[in-house]
Structure formats: structure tokens, C-alpha cells
Amino acid sequence: MKILVISDSHRRASSIFDAVEAHPEIDHIIFLGDGVDDFEEVGFVYPNKNYYAVCGNCDFTSTLPTSKIIKLNGKVIYACHGHLHRVKDGYESAISAAKSVGADILLFGHTHSPLSTYYDGVHILNPGSIGKPRNSKSSYGIIEITDKGIVTNIVY
């Protein structure tokens, strides 16, 4: 199973469409906030995908939760935007929140800088920003869950 992970589009919906169209085989798409309106447009065009989303600090009118627990293919994913965990100052709070719910995977955005790592039993993925990158090119993430394990990747 492959999962597309996107964050921080900031009114650049075309970037989300580009990522979705580049991976037609993917059925699950997770959006990590700051551009929820952009993400909702994709759902209208591709209604047969499975969508999961949390709101970010710039999604002022969103009624989405700030974090979400997603169970896919026998794995637990803790998804959040990251601002409430102050991920710009460190990842400890976000990792603790993920571990407290038994998550195998922690997903967050907010920093606009991509990260793919493994720490203390948790796969950590920040897809960076698909619409407004800080120190790199636009990016998004791909998670692959197989019988052999979990692989997280950044795509530029």
C-alpha cells in the first residue's frame, strides 16, 4: 500500500493536483494542513480516493481536527499539522503524542522543510511544503507499507 502525504499548499491547489496525477496508483491521501480549501478541491475531481486531513494554523475557518489517528494496513498513523506541538522548536512533543497512541508513523507539516527519519520506534515524515517551500524545492511524501515494513520518502 502506498500513501501520498501533502502539506502546506497555501493556495496553490495546482501543486496538489500535480502530485495526485503523478501517482494514479495511490488510493490514500493525507493532507497535513495549511491549505485545506485547496485539498478539498482534489476530492471533487478524484472522488474515488480515500482522503484524510487535519487543519493547520492558517486554516482559520476549518472545522477539521488539529490531529487525527489513521489506521491503514495494520499500522497506526498520528497526523497533525505540528504547530500545537511546536515542531519548529523540536519534535519531542509530536513524538510523545504519537507514541502515546501507539503510532507506528508520525506525520506533521508546518516547518515547510522536508524530513524523513526513524526515531525511537516511530517513522517520522514531514513532507515539506508542496506550495511554499522554505529552503528547498516543493515536496511531498510517499509512505509504502508492506509485509516487510514501512518506508517513507520525500519526492521533490
Q: What are phi and psi of 67, to 5 degrees?
A: -150, 160
**What is the tens place of the pLDDT at every residue in 72-123?**
999 999 999 999 999 999 999 999 999 999 999 999 999 999 999 999 999 9
Q: 18 near 31, Cβ under 8 Å?
A: no
Is 78 strand, coil or helix? strand
Cell numbers describing residue 19: 502530485
Distance CA 15, CA 75 (A): 28
Distance CA 112, CA 28 (A): 22
Written as one letter, the residue type at 110 is H
Q: Which residues pair with 115 in a beta bridge?
A: 126
| Residue 118 confidence (pLDDT) | 97
**What is the tens place of the pLDDT at every residue in 48-69?**
999 999 999 999 999 999 999 9
pTM higher than 0.75: yes
Is 34 strand, coil or helix? coil
Q: Which residues pair with 28 in a beta bridge?
A: 3, 50
Q: What are phi and psi of 45, to 5 degrees?
A: -80, -35
Written as one letter, the residue type at 86 is R
The CB density around residue 74, as the number of other CB atoms within 10 Å, is: 9
| Residue 134 confidence (pLDDT) | 85
**What is the tens place of the pLDDT at every residue in 110-146?**
999 999 999 999 999 999 999 999 877 999 999 999 9
Domain architecture of the chain: domains with CATH: 2-155 (3.60.21.10)
Cell numbers describing residue 35: 491549505
